[in-house]
Chain A
Amino acid sequence: MADPKNPSRGQGKKEAARQRIAEKRAAEAAARAAEQRRRRAVVGAAVAAVVVVVAVVVAIAVQTSRSAVASDAARPDGTSAGGNGYTFTVGQADAPVTVDLYEDFQCPNCRDFEDRAGSTLEQLASAGTVKIVYHGMAFLDSSQNDDYSTRALNAAAVVASSAGPEAYEKFHDLLYANQPDERTGSGLTDQQLISYAEQAGATGEDVATDITNLVYGEWVKGAEDQASKDGVNGTPTVFVDGTELADLTADGVTAAVQAAQRG
């Protein structure tokens, strides 16, 4: 018991050494496994990142071409001189004040504006005080109204193209006077659009087929994009000499036009 050279003690030492070696090997194996896992995770993340980047690039390319307005799209005649091809101007070219009107034919607030201020505006135009620049928009299409916004703006472009901007204005007034309900309505039929076009002064077989065939359908998309680029996101939006009109009443229009005239 007092013997310091206890054989069992030496055996214990060996045992401990073996254990240490085994632990060290296990730790090394664990470290290798962890390193392998880490490497696999890095590779996985890199692959995932590349896949996402490629998908983004492809999506940008595909969606850009899908959203572009076809360059060979039919464009109506009679648009504003020197304009971007998406507007129709009524009134004398040298009128001192310009009123820009952004409207959707299906928009009920636009009809309210036309009810309140439309005739005032047209009187100011015929008096030579203002020229009205009509910017059509079409964002209230639905399956219920059979894409009425687009069909109505297309028809208006057909009218302007065949009978001039004054006919556009007449047609525009007729469509607001007979606006179908935005929520419950099913839009005016093509036949109704054709008969209003006739009343506005655009007649003939071509007018009817151009309305039915949505000949300016691509152009309508372009008009919608143009309004967005003009910074217009709601209808009705009215600019009097470039300043947005807040008071959308007849008095509001008159006051703003007078202010613009005074400079």
Chain B
Amino acid sequence: MRPWLATAARLLLGGVLVVAGALKLPDPAEAARAVRAYQLLPEGLVGPVAFGLPVVEIAVGLALLAGVFVRAAALATAVLLVTFLVGIVSAWARGLQIDCGCFGGGGQVDAADTAYPWEVARDTAMLLVALALARWPHSRLALATRLEPAHG
């Protein structure tokens, strides 16, 4: 039973990460504005983070979907989610009115069109799934177990 739950966790987290990363690629200027809107990074780091982060998300997501380096990818997912949560909560606490930009878009929102509680709840839930997967990474339909049949 547990390996199948781990498979479900892999597909959920991997799918979300790949989609989230891919949606940030088509409009890099928008991605940069989304990062800048958090007002946490110096201008020199805005571009590298805005443009590098989606690639990391996609890479980690693909690893989870394929089932390779599952524990490392689950831990990386947890680290990413903690970073996102810190950003979102700090924006909320500072009274910034921004969209998290989690799935592209981001930055400007009309008036009080923010969704902080939902964004925090979603990322927290995913963080718990990622931590559980890091604890029990053994799953079905994973490429790594096919390459390494002797490996438990």
Contacts and interface: CB of A to CB of B under 8 A. Distances in A.
A48 B108 contact: no
Interface residues of A, number: 30
Contacts, number: 85
A233 interface: yes
Given A233-B37, A234-B108, A224 B29 contact: yes
B92 interface: no
B108 A55 contact: no
Given A37-B151, A66-B28, A67-B32, A52 B56 contact: yes
B107 A37 contact: no
A67 B98 CA distance: 21
B109 A234 contact: yes
Contacts of B48: 60
Nearest to B107: A233
Given A60-B52, A228-B36, A67 B97 contact: no
Contact of A107 (B36, B63, B110, B150): B110
Given A66-B28, A224-B33, A233 B55 contact: no
B87 to A, nearest CB: 14
Nearest to A104: B108
B98 A221 contact: no
A235 interface: yes
Contacts of B110: 107-109, 234-235
Contacts of B68: 44, 48
Interface string B32-60: 11001101000100011011101110010
Interface residues of B, number: 34
Contact of B108 (A56, A64, A66, A233): A233
A231 interface: yes
A56 B33 contact: no
B131 interface: no
B69 interface: yes
Nearest to A55: B55
Per CB-CB distance, the 9 closest pairs between chain A and chain B, nearest first, are A63-B51, A67-B28, A63-B28, A67-B29, A228-B33, A56-B52, A59-B55, A60-B51, A52-B59
Interface of B: 25, 28-29, 31-33, 36-37, 39, 43, 47-48, 50-52, 54-56, 59, 63, 68-69, 72, 96-98, 107-111, 148, 150-151
Interface of A: 33, 37, 44-45, 48, 51-52, 55-56, 59-60, 62-64, 66-67, 107-109, 137, 139, 221, 224-225, 228-229, 231, 233-235
26 contacts: A33-B150, A45-B72, A48-B59, A48-B63, A51-B59, A55-B59, A56-B55, A59-B25, A60-B51, A60-B52, A63-B31, A64-B51, A66-B28, A66-B29, A67-B32, A67-B51, A109-B110, A139-B108, A229-B36, A233-B33, A233-B96, A233-B108, A233-B109, A234-B98, A234-B110, A234-B111
